[in-house]
C-alpha cells in the first residue's frame, strides 16, 4: 500500500494529455471475448482497472498482447472456463460485463460479487434482468450464476434504471443472440455509444445509437475489429478542476469538445476561465464563485464521477453551494475528512452536502481515499492546502488515472509516492 505525500500551495501549470476513456475500455475488452478473431484496441488507458480486466480475459483463455501499453491485441479462439478469477473479480466492478460474453461463448457463467467502489451498495439486478429477458436462467448456488445452454434469443426489454453497465451487459448479450433485441430506457453516455460502434464493426446490427432506445440484430458469428478509444472526458474534467482549485493554468489534450462540454458548463457558471481552443481544453487562473446548486444526472447532465472534485472546488469559491449527487449514497462521505483541513462543509444527508467558501485549507492530515473519484478529490484538496497532506492508499486512485504521480510532478506539483 502506497501513500501520496503532498506539499500544497503550489499552482499547477503546463500541458497534460488524457488517454482513452476508462469506462469505454472495459466493455470493449469484454466484447473481444465474443469472437474467435483478433480484436485490436488503441489509445487504451494504462490504468489498474484495465490491467485487471485484461488479466480476467487471460484467465478465461484469451490471448492478450500489450498489457500495460496503449495498444491491446486480444484473440480468444476458445473460451476455457466460465468462472472468472474470484480475486480479480473482487477488484473490479466492470467484471460484471463478462456475463453476456460468457453466456454467448460458454453457455454459462458464474461470477463472484464484483468489487470496485461501494461494492455492497451497487446491485447487478439490472444486468441479470436483461440476461433473463434474453432467455438466460438462474442457477442455484453461491455467487451470481446463470446459464443459457440453448443460446440467447432476442427480446424486447425495458431497463428499470438507465444503468450504463446494465445497458452494456444487455448490448453484449444481444449482439450474439438469435433475432432482434430492443432495449428501452438505455443509457446514452459516450462510452455506451462506443460499445455500440464496436459491436457494429464486429457484425452486429445496432441502430438508435446515442438514443435511449437501441435495437440490436444479433449474429452467431461476430468477427474481429479495431477501435481507437476516445479520450477520457472524466479524466480531462479532473485535470481541469484540479487546475481551477490550485489557481493554475493547464492545457488538456485528448478530450472531445462534445464530451467535456458537460464539465465546462459547470466550471463556466462558477466563473472559471476555461474553454476549448484548437482541440485543447484550457483552464486559466480564476477566482471561482459559488453557484446555488450543482446536481448530478444521467448523460448529458453533470457526471457523478466528478461531483467529489467539484465539491472541493466549491471550498475555494466565494459563497455557498449545495452539491446534490442523487445517484450514489456514499460518494460524498469521504469528503467529510476535509473538515479537519478547515473546509466549511455540512453533510445534509447521504446525497447532499452544503459547502461555504472560500476557506483556506491546511494540510497535515492522513486522508483515506475510499473510492477512486473521492481519492483524486482529496489529492486536489491537498494540492490547494498549506502544508503537508498524505492521501492513502494511492493504488485506489491509480485504478483510474494513468501515471498519476509523474504527471502531477510535470505540472509542478510537489508530490512523492511513499510506501
Partners of residue 327 on adjacent β-strands: none
| Catalytic residue of the set 37, 59, 85, 117 | 117
Question: What distance in Å separates the CA atoms of residue 244 and residue 250, rounded to the nearest whole number?
Answer: 9
Write the CB contacts of 151 (distance below 8 Å, at least 6 apart in sequence). Answer: 104, 107, 135, 177, 178, 220
Write the CB contacts of 321 (distance below 8 Å, at least 6 apart in sequence). Answer: 290, 291, 292, 293, 294, 314, 354, 355, 357
Question: What distance in Å separates the CA atoms of residue 366 and residue 379, rounded to the nearest whole number?
Answer: 11
Residues 311-339 as b/e (b if ≥16 CB within 10 A, e otherwise) read: bbbbbbbeeebbbbbebbebbbbbbebbe
* Three cell numbers written together for 235: 479524466
In whole angstroms, how far apart are CA 317 and each of 16, 245, 267, 292, 383?
24, 9, 11, 12, 16
Partners of residue 367 on adjacent β-strands: 391
* Three cell numbers written together for 357: 467558501
Question: What distance in Å separates the CA atoms of residue 375 and residue 296, rounded to the nearest whole number?
Answer: 19
| Active site (annotated) includes residue 117 | yes
Regarding beta strands 249-253 and 13-17, do their DSSP bridges make them parallel or antiparallel, or are they unpaired?
parallel
Torsion of CA 148, 154, 158, 160, to 10 degrees: 20
Handedness of CA 95, 187, 278, 310 (dihedral sign): negative
Regarding beta strands 249-253 and 226-228, do their DSSP bridges make them parallel or antiparallel, or are they unpaired?
unpaired
* Three cell numbers written together for 128: 441479470
Could you check whether the bond before residue 103 is cis, i.e. omega within 30 degrees of 0?
no
The strand order across the sheet containing 137-138 reads 108-111, 144-147, 137-138
Q: Which residues are catalytic?
A: 117
Amino acid at each position: 500500500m502506497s501513500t501520496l505525500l503532498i506539499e500544497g500551495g503550489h499552482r499547477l501549470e503546463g500541458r497534460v494529455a488524457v488517454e482513452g476513456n476508462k469506462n469505454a475500455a472495459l466493455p470493449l475488452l469484454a466484447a473481444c471475448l465474443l469472437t474467435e478473431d483478433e480484436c485490436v484496441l488503441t489509445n487504451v488507458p494504462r490504468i489498474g482497472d484495465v490491467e485487471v480486466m485484461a488479466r480476467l480475459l487471460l484467465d478465461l483463455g484469451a490471448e492478450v498482447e500489450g498489457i500495460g501499453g496503449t495498444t491491446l491485441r486480444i484473440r480468444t479462439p476458445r473460451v476455457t472456463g466460465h468462472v472468472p478469477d474470484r480475486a480479480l473479480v473482487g477488484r473490479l466492478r466492470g467484471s460484471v460485463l463478462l456475463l453476456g460474453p460468457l453466456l454467448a461463448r460458454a453457455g454459462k457463467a458464474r461470477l463472484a460479487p464484483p468489487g470496485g467502489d461501494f461494492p455492497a451498495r451497487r446491485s447487478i439486478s439490472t444486468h441479470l434482468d436483461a440476461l433473463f429477458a434474453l432467455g438466460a436462467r438462474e442457477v442455484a448456488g453461491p455467487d451470481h450464476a446463470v446459464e443459457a445452454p440453448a443460446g440467447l434469443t432476442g427480446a424486447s426489454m425495458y431497463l428499470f434504471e438507465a444503468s450504463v453497465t446494465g445497458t452494456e451487459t444487455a448490448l453484449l448479450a444481444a449482439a450474439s443472440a438469435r433475432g432482434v433485441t430492443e432495449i428501452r430506457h438505455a443509457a446514452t453516455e459516450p462510452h455506451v455509444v462506443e460499445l455500440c460502434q464496436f459491436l457494429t464493426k464486429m457484425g452486429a446490427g445496432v441502430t438508435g445509437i446515442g438514443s435511449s432506445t437501441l435495437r440490436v440484430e444479433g449474429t452467431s458469428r461476430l468477427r474481429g475489429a479495431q477501435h481507437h478509444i476516445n479520450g477520457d472526458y472524466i479524466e480531462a474534467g479532473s485535470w481541469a478542476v484540479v487546475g481551477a482549485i490550485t489557481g493554475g493554468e493547464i492545457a488538456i489534450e485528448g478530450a472531445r469538445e462534445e464530451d467535456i462540454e458537460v464539465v465546462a458548463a459547470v466550471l463556466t457558471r462558477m466563473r472559471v476561465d476555461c474553454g476549448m481552443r484548437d482541440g485543447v481544453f484550457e483552464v486559466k487562473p480564476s477566482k471561482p464563485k459559488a453557484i446555488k446548486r450543482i446536481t448530478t444526472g444521467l448523460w448529458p447532465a453533470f457526471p457523478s464521477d466528478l461531483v467529489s472534485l467539484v465539491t472541493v472546488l466549491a471550498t475555494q469559491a466565494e459563497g455557498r453551494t449545495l452539491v446534490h449527487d442523487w445517484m450514489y449514497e456514499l460518494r460524498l462521505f469521504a469528503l467529510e475528512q476535509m473538515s479537519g483541513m478547515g473546509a466549511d462543509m455540512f453533510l445534509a444527508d447521504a446525497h447532499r452536502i452544503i459547502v461555504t467558501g472560500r476557506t483556506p485549507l491546511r494540510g497535515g492530515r492522513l486522508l483515506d481515499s475510499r473510492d477512486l473519484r473521492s481519492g483524486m478529490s482529496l489529492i486536489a484538496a491537498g494540492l490547494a492546502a498549506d502544508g503537508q497532506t498524505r492521501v492513502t492508499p494511492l493504488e485506489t486512485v491509480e485504478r483510474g488515472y494513468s501515471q498519476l504521480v509523474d504527471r502531477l510532478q510535470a505540472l509542478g506539483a510537489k508530490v512523492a509516492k511513499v510506501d
